[in-house]
Amino acid sequence: MTRWQRWAGPGPAAFLAALLLASGCAAPGEPADTAAQDIRRALDRRAAAVVDRDESAYLAALDPVAASLRAAERREFANLAQVPLRSWEYRLTALDRTSAERATAEVELRYRFDGYDDAPVKAAERLDLVRRDGRWYVAAEHPGSGGGRQFWEQGEVTVVRGARSLVLGAGQDEQRLRAMADAADRAVQAADRAWPGRWARRLVVLVPPSLDSMGSLLGAPAAGYRGIAAVTTGKTGGSGAAPADRVIVNPEAYALLGGFGQQIVLTHEAAHVATRADTSAATPMWLSEGFADWAAYRGTGRTASEAAPELGRAVRKMDLPTALPTDQEFGFGADAEADAEADADTLARSYEGGWLACALIAQEWGEERLTAFYRAVGGHGRREGAVEKAMHEVLDTTPEDFTARWRAYVRERLA
């Protein structure tokens, strides 16, 4: 499972606001308001303190009378002790002066893990600021719109390094994290065999304390991830850039799996990382999720009945799907307990149907054509016509013909 985070650049209004922030303009005849520049400098000092591991300088950016905030920030600073930071910066994106001595700032936190991130992770935050004796301080911190909590807010972070992986756990046993790093290393190797070409060939895995903590990281209700062992975050695009991906593990669901299942989960997520630059808004979920499952099961020797039990049960009940899974069928909305089992079954059949679609392409057209088809769809840029065009140019078929062949393949493999 992956959580795609698509991004659009700022519009004209946001660009104008950024210009005004940068200039610190004042009306003719009025003294210039230097609040934006002063706040920006204060945030720069705070960012430098994180990278330099200077606790005193980090706390100096906080309101001296905000005792609870200072205590919480001291704990968070300690939680960051093992995290291998390459960079850390704040970008001021909007400023609301509520009074001469108070303001609210919208900022974008950008940070990189040393040796793993070629591009920064970006997180929106909202800061309440207060000015005392001519100096601006942070008085409160909140997640930005649509954002979640940061990992180091969830407890002491333990870091384990693999050959090709970096595993960070909050409130987790180090031995468990070591086993996960070993599995992540194997996942990178398997994904690399399935997806030849340029990609980072390394994995960053975050293991929060609980399912609720996972939802908090993702800024979404935890119930939506109850039956999902892991998700991958990262921007899609097709630009060829290497975004900073994070595999976030659901510790409760992951722990219920055996060693084989855990390996499948991490290889599936590694495949998402490998294909990220060639995944775009044009890529249907049956292809992105199906390819990730195909990469995960490739070479394991598992039969179709073992890998697709839910779809197999449906086929044996004469309930053969009439079409490839839609994006909506990959949603997991177990907000109501009564619908949870039905949602889980639909989700499982969707993954299994996508996997068999990719397996069909690999078997009938070859693995090179499968990866070429994936790249062709993602390179189209928009959903409309993407699959049709790629099927015609790469597979020399049509969606109608492919669907008929897929239904026959599903029946043959699972009946």
- Residue extents of the structural domains in the chain: 8-23+31-152, 280-415
Counting other chains too, the contacts that 398-406 makes at CB distance below 8 Å and 24 or more residues apart are 403/323, 403/324, 405/360, 405/364, 406/324, 406/353, 406/356, 406/357, 406/360
Please say whether the dihedral angle defined by the alpha carbons of residues 367, 373, 376 and 381, taken in this order, is positive or negative. negative
Q: What is the pLDDT of residues 268-309, one digit of tens each?
A: 999 999 999 999 999 999 999 999 999 999 999 999 999 999
pLDDT of residue 275: 96
Q: From CA 264, how far away is CA 165, in angstroms rounded?
A: 16
Q: How confident is the model at residue 332 (pLDDT cuts 50, 70, 90)?
A: low
pLDDT at 235: 62
Q: Which of 101-110, 135-144, 215-224 has the lowest mean pLDDT?
A: 215-224
CA distance 415 to 170: 44
Residue tagged 């001595």 (tokens): 101
- Determine the Cα–Cα distance for residues 220 and 144; give it in Å rounded to an integer: 13
Query: What is the distance between the alpha carbons of residues 344 and 264, in angstroms, rounded to a whole number?
Result: 18
CA dist list (Å): 377 to 18, 109, 278, 306:
35, 33, 9, 29
Residue 234's SS3 state is: strand
Tens digits of residue pLDDT in 199-232: 999 999 999 999 999 999 998 888 888 888 999 9
pLDDT above 90 as % of the chain: 78
Reply yes or no on whether the pLDDT at 20 is more than 80. Answer: no
CATH architecture designation of domain 8-23+31-152: Roll (3.10)
In the predicted model, what is the mean pLDDT of residues 46-72? 96
Q: How confident is the model at residue 260 (pLDDT cuts 50, 70, 90)?
A: very high
